[in-house]
Amino acid sequence: MIEGSMDRIKENIEAWLKEDIGTGDVTSISTIPAEHQSIGYIHAKEMGMLAGLPIAKLVFEIVDPNIIFSEQAVEGSILNKGDTIATVEGNTRNILIGERLALNLMQRLSGIATKTNQYVKELNNIPVKVVDTRKTTPGHRVLEKYAVKVGGGFNHRMGLYDAVMIKDNHIKATGSIKKAIEAARNQVPHTMKIEVEIEKMTEIEEALAADIILLDNMSIDTLTACVNQIKAKSPHIILEASGGITLETIRGVALTGVDVISVGGLTTSVKNLDISLDLNEKKVIVQ
């Protein structure tokens, strides 16, 4: 996914750098000679899963192609406190210009990957996919969904354009679940799946015309009953559970027999992983 989006990511990085730099880094310009060279060490300050390493490298490449970025850790690996993630060597001013954006992105993406991996591990090999939602930071969706994949999760639709997902407001506007599904079938290509959200068992019969049924905000007992009823009638339908799912509840939800569990919290309730960059005083070189 991220490979096909690199042009857009580069454009975003350039815009984010411009937002931060403005007319220039007045602190570095006023305190550090223009020709000053340094080696910086990017390291983890707490345990977590690493994501965003290629993005951090790209930030420094855009700031200064002469900066040497050397990876010391592997994307998707578990970091321990104190582990060195990468070194950056080159012009000191430019290292400091790229520092904050590179760290911000890597901290955010590592936090998402870490949380996703926690959810995936809770399933303990139950054959259920943990997927993200559209609840992403504007302008960062591609990166955040990439981080979910690094953490072992899967992506739901990327946007409004790549799948039909009929939710409560669509049903209200259309008049019924049946009418909404029929309208979608008449409009979209046969290759596009149609998903519909239901909140109670009485809506199952109409929803069986869809390819995917989202079981939203249900108790374990109701969820189990819905899964059993739907699979007995239409075993080909993909079943997705969503709504307030936590690390404490996801295993119980998975055991109901659903195929997919979507968790908005993978990208909305995330603690950034603490990552820092320090210059090594002993290896600073002035030309």
Residue 54, CA distances (Å) to 60, 99, 106, 161, 260 in order: 10, 14, 9, 27, 29
Residue 283, CA distances (Å) to 75, 96, 118 in order: 26, 16, 38
* 197 catalytically annotated: yes
Catalytic residue among 100, 134, 179, 185: 100
| 194 burial type by CB count under 10 A (0-12 exposed, 13-18 middle, 19+ buried) | middle
Torsion of CA 168, 172, 176, 181, to 10 degrees: -60
* 141 catalytically annotated: no
Phi, psi of 150 (to 5 degrees): -60, -35
Catalytic residue among 75, 197, 203, 240: 197
Catalytic residue among 8, 81, 121, 167: 167
Residue 191 to residue 283: CA distance in whole angstroms: 58
* 8 catalytically annotated: no
Catalytic residue among 99, 122, 195, 216: 216
* 64 catalytically annotated: no
Residue 134 to residue 37: CA distance in whole angstroms: 43
* N-term to C-term CA, the chain: 42
Catalytic residue among 10, 135, 178, 251: 135
* 108 catalytically annotated: no
Six-digit token string for 256 = 């109901």
Strand ranges, E, within 107-163 = 129-131
With residue 277 as reference, give the H or E element that holds it: strand 275-279
- Chain position carrying tokens 């943990």: 130
Phi, psi of 210 (to 5 degrees): -90, 170
Residues designated catalytic? 100, 135, 167, 197, 216
